[in-house]
Amino acid sequence: MSTLALKVLCKSELDQNVEEQVQCEIEIHKNLIHPNIICLYSSFDDKVQICLVLELAPKGTLFDRVLEWCRVPEQMSSQYIAQITDALKYLHGKHIIYHNIDLENILVDVHGQVTLADFSYSTQTRNHQTTICSTTAYLAPECQGTHPD
C-alpha cells in the first residue's frame, strides 16, 4: 500500500471563482496518467471542504532541493528538464496548457524523478484564456507588466 497525500481546501476560505477553478483543476487532472505528473487518485467534497487524494512526493518540491543543494548538478538538471519536457509534451497532446511551471510546483518523488503538480491554472485549449496565468517570479520577460498579480 502506498502512502498518499491529502490536499484539503476549506470552502469558507475560497471565493466562488476559486472554488470553480478547483473543480476545473480536478476535471483536467483526473484523467492524466504520466510518470512525470503527480497522480490524482480521487477527490471529494462536502459543505465544508474540497479534498484531493494525491500521490505523495516524499522528497518535496524542486525549490526545496535547490535551496538544499545551492547548485543542481548539470547531469541532474538535464534529466529534470527532459522529464518536465516529456510531461508538457504529454499535456499538449491532450490539448492542456499547464500555465504554472515554477519550482514549487515541481515535486520530487521517491525515485528522484520530478513530477508536475498543481493544475489550478491549467486550461483545455478549447477553453484557452487570453489572460496570463503564472507565478510572477517565473513570468517570461515579454509578459512583464501585463500580469494580473
pTM score, whole prediction: 0.80
Query: CA quadruple 112, 118, 123, 129: dihedral positive or negative?
Result: negative
Cα distance between residue 71 and residue 57, in whole Å: 21
Q: What is the model's pLDDT at position 147?
A: 47
Query: Are 139 and 132 in contact, with CB atoms under 8 Å apart?
Result: yes
Phi-psi region of 22 (alpha: psi -120 to 50; beta: other; left: phi over 0): alpha
Domains of the chain: 4-143 (1.10.510.10)
Q: What is the model's pLDDT at position 132?
A: 52
Strand positions, DSSP E, the chain? 4-10, 40-45, 49-55, 96-97, 106-108, 114-116, 123-124
Cα distance between residue 6 and residue 27, in whole Å: 17
Cα distance between residue 54 and residue 10, in whole Å: 17
Per-residue pLDDT of the chain (149 residues; tens, 9 = 90+): 578 999 999 999 988 888 888 998 999 999 999 999 999 999 999 999 999 999 999 999 999 988 988 888 899 999 999 999 999 999 999 999 998 899 999 999 888 899 999 998 888 876 444 455 556 665 555 455 554 54
Beta-ladder partners of 124: 96
Q: Show the CA angle centred on residue 91, arms to residues 90 and 97, nearest 5°.
A: 155
Cα distance between residue 127 and residue 49, in whole Å: 26
